[in-house]
Structure formats: structure tokens, C-alpha cells
């Protein structure tokens, strides 16, 4: 079927270091005393917590509801009690905290009744909603909600579905071990995805340094007997597992800047994601566990099947962390991020935990000036000019860095790997990218503030105008009604109304008050008896005295 493999430019061949963690099969790790399940584990909106502190949860129970469509649910991996919902340290380079549900397992591991779903009969939209609520996200590292990618879009079909088992980064073996352990179910998941995407062919690709996994997948594919399903072994070269690089190797399609592979009829998923889709749809099992490689400077490097939310320290304890470890990394040595906190939990994105020591990874050599040798450009698999990106990022000239397509950089680390001046190039790109994002956020906030400020001013003007219009209408209506009451007020209002409505209004009110006063005074003091007159005089006398008294009091106060 697939006659020819293509190639991508650049790339490097670092020492794979994969054998240590593939000697033993995947071990299911016992539950820790406390699980910390972050609510935000994927790209998109932060799920809203569905449980309260003190409530009991069952295994597989939804504890976070997706926030909008670009989001995914979060589930409890086991039964237990919710002891806290609070910010906890995240497995993130910042070491900052983010809201998490803390569960104390009760040890019974009682599962909630599984929501079985007849996906064969369901509409594609329903399957996508089900996957969103089952918390299925991309397990290759980007954790993008899978239901959004399982949409063939406007064209209604896809040419090629790529299932990515290349796993090119050194030390990481979780996909390799998963392909050896469950090849059939991975392929079944891939076939479900094929149906959802209406894909013509499915290519399951892996690097040629995983012969056991390739053999397992090939025999499973033969057993399934699907003509459109093919297992492809690609040459080992880092980063062959990058989505764009793998697509180029398999199909020859080079996805250009600003477009997506789906524009060319290709969609790509990780092998573990395919398995998660199969488990969710076939067994109603939400994503609550994943395979994590624990390797590097540990006594027993191995792959563990762990509940999401397990503290990283628990995994290192099981693998035997050596005392001379100086740094912990989540991911591999090329793209991984430093972990400042060993108590942070395993999340859906955690594929590998790597302990580093000065003997395993030599400490970084001093950064020397760029000598413009161009090695980085030859190694760049995204066909960028890393030295240009470096200069502009270093000079904080972010506009220029973006012109050189900084955001097409996949941060694979090939440029830094080959740099003879030991420049931590990727650090500069990460710095520039996050700086640009922050500026964009600030700009969006400023634009929204400007819009709201202008709207508020417009509203104030409108209210003023409305008030004036109302007043004018009232004044216009008045002369028509007033003449019946009496000629005097109407005569007062009529001439001034044209000049200033406000003044006219005040004058009209004053005229009314005068008329009222006259009317009242005339009524009250007419035809008084001598006795009443005497009373009034007495009262006036008292009032006069009182005012004199208060007048003399005033200075004292």
C-alpha cells in the first residue's frame, strides 16, 4: 500500500537511552494516600468542580464538568473522600499552584456504574460529546481535547488518519510499552477514529528502534484484517514523532505556516489517545489512568500504569530515586520541562519523569557567542532559521522574531543540541513566546477596556440627550394644557420656553409656587376674630423671642 516514505529536513540522532525502562513490563502502581487531581489538565477552559469538600466519590465519577466545548471533563480515578478543593502545586516549570480536587482513597476502589454507550448507532456529534465528558484528550503531550480533532469538518471526510507511535524522544518508552501490551485495542481505537473521521486509510507509524512493538502491532493488524489499516515503520531520527514531521515522512505533505494538517486531509493522534478512545466508547471508561515512564537516575527504571493525580514523589519512590539527583524533568531530555516540585501530581500530559544527575547529563557549558555557523538551521526540522530567532529573541525584538515564524518552532531542541556555542536556544524561544503571549493578553485587555470606556461615554451622552428630549417634550406639551388653569403662569412660561428649557421650567415652578402661596395666604387670614388675632400676635411674639435667643446662642456654639 504505502510504497514510499518521505523525509523531513534536519533532525538529530541523540542516544536513545530507551532500553533501561523497557526491560520490565508495565507495573500497576498502588494508590498513594492522597490523589491531587488538577481541574485544568488540557488546552481550553478550566472545568468547574462538581463535588464539594467532604463528599464521597466513586472511581470514574466525574468531578469536573467541561467548561464549554473547548474543554474536557475530569474524573476521580478511585473511590474515596474529597478532602479539599484548593490550589495545589502543578507539574509546571513555574511551580505555581492551580485549583485541584484532593481525594483520599478509601482503598475499596469501588467504581461508579459505567455509562455504556452504543457508539455504533450514535451520531458523530453524540460520540464527540461522550468523549468530551469522558475526559479524552491527546496523550502525546499537547493534551488537546480529542473530540475537537475527531471532526472531519466541512469536507466530511479525511484522507489519512495517522496514529503516532513514533516516540522519538530519548528515554521515553511509555508508548512503546503500551503498543507491546495492547496492540489490538490501540488498533480498534484507531478504527473507531477512522469511522468518525471517514478516513480513507489509517497509518500506524512507529520508529524502527521498536521492533517488538512493531511486530505486536503487525500481528494485531493481521488479526483485525482491515485493508485500510497499515502499520508503518519509519526510520529513527529525532523528531520523527512531531506531528508535522511524521505527516511529512508518511505522506510527503509539508504543512505550511498558518495552516493545519486537516487542511490537507490528514489528522494525527497518539497511540495512547487511540486506546483511551476505545476504552471510553467500548467500556464507558473515562480517562483516569495513564502510562508514565520513570527513568534516568533511578534504581529501577520502568513504566508505571498510574492513577492521574498520583504525586510524582510516589512514582520516584517506587522506582528508587538515587540520592545524587540534581534535577527532575517532566518529559524527555530534549523537550522536557524542569519540575520544581516533586509533590506535584501526575497529569494527563505526564508521559515521562526523568531524574537527572551530573553524571547522566553533564551540567550545561557556559554560553558562548553565536559564531553564525548555521548548524542550527541545518538541524531545524521545521525549516526555520534558529540563529535569526535567537538574535531577535535575545534582543527582545519580538516583532522580528515573529516575522521569522517563531510560532512555527516546535521547541524540539535540535538547534540547541547541535549548537557548538552551547546556547540554550529553546530557552530564548520559550521566553520570547511567553512574552509575546503576555503582550497579546495585555493588548486584548486594553482593547476591551477602550471599548467599554467608549460605550460608557456614549451611554452617558445618550442619557443626557434623552433627558433633554424629554424635557423639551414636556415643555412643548405645557402651553397647550396650562391656559385653562390661569393666564398668568402660561404667560410667564411662553416667552422664555424658547430660550432655555431649564430656566423656563424653574420659572414656571416659581410662578406656580407664588400663585399657590397667594391662594393659601388669602384663604387663611381672611375674616379673623379678635381672639384669633390675639393668638396669632402672641405666637408671633414667641417666634421673635425664639429667634433672638437662638441668634444669641449661635456665637456661643
Partner 1 sequence: MITALLVMAGLALVLGATLGAASVLFKTQGDPLVDKIDAILPQTQCGQCGYPGCKPYATAIAGGDADINQCPPGGDEGVRKLADLLGREYKPLNAEHGVEKPKSVALIDEATCIGCTLCIQACPVDAIVGAAKQMHTIVGDLCTGCELCVPPCPADCIDMVPVTETVESWKWRYPVFELKVQPATLPAKEAA
Which parts of this chain interact with partner 1 (CB under 8 A)? 40, 90, 92-94, 96-98, 364, 366-367, 424, 427-428, 430-431, 433-435, 437-438, 441-442, 445-450, 452-457
Identify which of residues 97 and 262 has a Cβ nearer to partner 1 in the complex.
97
CA distance 264 to 357: 44
Q: Mapping DSSP to helix (H, G, I), strand (E, B) and coil, where does residue 411 land? A: coil
Identify which of residues 217 and 349 has a Cβ nearer to partner 1 in the complex.
349
Identify which of residues 248 and 348 has a Cβ nearer to partner 1 in the complex.
348
CB of 38 to partner 1, least distance (A): 9
Residues 6+ apart with CB under 8 A from 495: none
Angle ∠(301,163,376) on CA atoms, nearest 5? 70
Identify which of residues 287 and 425 has a Cβ nearer to partner 1 in the complex.
425
CB of 367 to partner 1, least distance (A): 5
**Unique residue bearing C-alpha cell 549548537:** 419
Identify which of residues 55 and 448 has a Cβ nearer to partner 1 in the complex.
448
Angle ∠(256,234,226) on CA atoms, nearest 5? 95
440 CB-side CA count, 13 A: 9
Nearest to 306 by CA among 154, 512, 91: 91
Nearest to 322 by CA among 293, 361, 357, 362: 357
CB of 429 to partner 1, least distance (A): 9
E strand intervals along 276-359: 289-296, 302-307, 327-330, 337-338, 352-356
Residues 6+ apart with CB under 8 A from 322: 297, 298, 299, 355, 357
Identify which of residues 91 and 105 has a Cβ nearer to partner 1 in the complex.
91
The radius of gyration of the chain's CA atoms, rounded to the nearest angstrom, is 38
Identify which of residues 256 and 364 has a Cβ nearer to partner 1 in the complex.
364
Identify which of residues 40 and 248 has a Cβ nearer to partner 1 in the complex.
40
CB of 530 to partner 1, least distance (A): 55
Nearest to 397 by CA among 389, 405, 407, 386: 389
DSSP 350-397: --EEEEE-TTTSPPPPPP-------HHHHH-TT---HHHHHHHHHTT-
Identify which of residues 143 and 214 has a Cβ nearer to partner 1 in the complex.
143
CB of 289 to partner 1, least distance (A): 23
Q: Quick count: other Cβ atoms within 10 Å of Cβ 160?
A: 23
CB of 310 to partner 1, least distance (A): 19
Identify which of residues 60 and 64 has a Cβ nearer to partner 1 in the complex.
64
Cell for 47?
472545568
CB of 408 to partner 1, least distance (A): 18
Bridging pattern class, strands 35-38 and 352-356: unpaired
CB of 435 to partner 1, least distance (A): 6
Which strands sit side by side in the sheet containing 229-234, from one edge to the other?
A: 229-234, 199-207, 158-164, 266-270
Identify which of residues 442 and 548 has a Cβ nearer to partner 1 in the complex.
442
CA distance 226 to 153: 24
Identify which of residues 214 and 401 has a Cβ nearer to partner 1 in the complex.
401
507 CB-side CA count, 13 A: 18
CB of 391 to partner 1, least distance (A): 13
Cβ atoms of 337 and 329 closer than 8 Å: yes
Distance of CA 497 to the CA centre of its chain: 62
Residues 6+ apart with CB under 8 A from 102: 34, 35, 36, 37, 82, 83, 84, 85, 86, 88
CB of 347 to partner 1, least distance (A): 11
Cβ atoms of 481 and 463 closer than 8 Å: no
Nearest to 327 by CA among 363, 368, 280: 363
Identify which of residues 283 and 441 has a Cβ nearer to partner 1 in the complex.
441
Strand partners, 103: 35, 82
Amino acid at each position: 500500500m504505502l510504497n514510499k516514505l518521505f523525509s523531513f529536513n534536519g533532525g538529530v540522532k541523540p542516544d536513545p537511552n530507551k532500553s533501561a525502562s523497557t526491560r520490565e513490563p508495565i507495573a500497576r502502581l498502588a494508590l498513594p494516600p492522597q490523589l491531587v487531581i488538577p481541574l485544568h489538565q488540557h488546552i481550553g477552559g478550566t472545568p468547574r468542580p462538581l463535588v464539594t469538600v467532604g463528599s464521597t466519590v466513586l472511581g470514574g465519577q466525574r468531578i469536573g464538568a467541561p467548561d464549554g466545548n473547548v474543554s474536557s471533563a475530569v474524573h476521580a480515578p478511585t473511590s474515596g473522600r474529597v478532602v479539599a478543593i484548593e490550589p495545589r502545586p502543578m507539574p509546571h516549570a513555574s511551580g505555581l499552584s492551580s485549583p485541584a480536587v484532593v481525594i483520599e482513597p478509601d482503598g475499596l476502589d469501588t467504581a461508579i456504574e459505567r455509562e455504556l454507550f452504543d457508539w455504533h448507532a450514535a451520531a458523530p456529534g453524540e460520540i464527540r460529546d461522550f468523549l468530551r465528558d469522558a475526559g479524552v484528550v491527546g496523550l502525546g503531550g499537547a493534551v488537546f481535547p480529542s473530540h475537537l480533532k475527531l471532526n472531519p469538518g466541512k469536507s466530511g471526510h479525511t484522507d489519512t488518519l495517522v496514529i503516532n507511535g513514533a516516540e522519538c524522544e530519548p528515554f521515553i518508552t511509555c508508548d512503546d510499552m503500551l503498543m507491546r501490551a495492547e496492540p489490538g485495542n490501540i488498533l480498534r481505537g484507531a478504527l473507531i477514529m477512522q469511522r468518525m473521521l471517514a478516513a480513507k486509510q489509517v497509518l500506524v507509524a512507529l520508529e524502527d528502534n521498536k521492533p517488538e512493538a512493531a511486530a505486536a502491532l503487525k500481528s494485531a493488524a493481521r488479526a483485525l484484517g482491515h485493508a485500510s489499516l497499515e502499520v508503518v515503520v519509519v526510520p529513527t531520527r529525532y523528531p520523527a514523532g512531531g506531528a508535522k514531521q511524521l505527516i511529512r515522512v508518511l505522506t510527503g505533505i509539508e504543512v505550511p505556516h498558518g495552516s493545519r494538517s486537516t487542511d490537507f486531509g490528514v489528522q494525527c493522534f497518539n497511540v495512547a489517545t487511540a486506546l483511551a478512545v476505545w476504552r471510553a466508547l467500548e467500556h464507558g471508561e473515562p480517562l483516569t489512568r495513564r502510562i508514565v515512564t520513570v527513568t534516568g537516575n533511578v534504581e529501577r527504571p520502568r513504566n508505571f500504569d498510574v492513577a492521574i493525580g498520583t504525586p510524582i514523589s510516589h512514582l520516584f519512590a517506587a522506582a528508587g530515586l538515587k540520592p545524587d539527583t540534581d534535577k527532575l524533568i517532566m518529559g524527555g531530555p530534549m523537550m522536557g520541562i524542569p519540575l520544581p516540585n516533586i509533590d506535584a501530581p501526575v497529569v494527563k500530559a505526564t508521559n515521562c519523569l526523568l531524574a537527572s544527575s551530573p553524571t547522566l547529563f553533564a551540567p550545561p557549558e557556559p554560553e558562548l557567542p553565536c559564531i553564525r555557523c548555521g548548524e542550527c538551521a541545518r538541524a531545524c526540522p521545521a525549516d526555520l532559521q534558529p540563529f535569526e530567532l535567537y538574535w531577535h529573541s535575545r534582543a527582545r525584538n519580538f516583532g522580528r522574531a515573529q516575522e521569522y515564524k517563531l510560532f512555527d518552532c516546535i521547541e524540539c531542541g535540535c538547534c540547541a543540541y547541535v549548537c557548538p556555542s552551547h546556547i540554550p536556544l529553546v530557552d530564548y524561544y520559550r521566553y520570547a513566546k511567553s512574552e509575546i503571549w503576555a503582550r497579546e493578553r495585555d493588548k486584548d485587555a486594553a482593547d476591551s477596556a477602550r471599548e467599554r470606556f467608549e460605550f460608557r461615554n456614549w451611554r452617558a451622552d445618550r442619557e443626557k440627550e434623552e433627558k433633554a428630549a424629554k424635557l423639551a417634550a414636556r415643555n412643548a406639551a405645557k402651553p397647550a394644557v396650562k391656559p385653562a388653569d390661569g393666564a398668568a403662569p402660561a404667560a410667564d412660561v411662553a416667552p422664555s420656553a424658547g430660550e432655555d428649557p431649564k430656566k423656563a421650567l424653574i420659572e414656571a415652578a416659581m410662578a406656580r409656587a407664588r400663585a399657590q402661596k397667594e391662594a393659601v395666604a388669602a384663604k387663611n387670614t381672611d375674616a379673623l376674630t379678635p381672639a384669633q388675632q390675639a393668638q396669632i400676635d402672641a405666637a408671633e411674639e414667641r417666634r421673635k423671642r425664639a429667634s433672638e435667643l437662638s441668634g444669641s446662642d449661635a456665637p456661643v456654639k
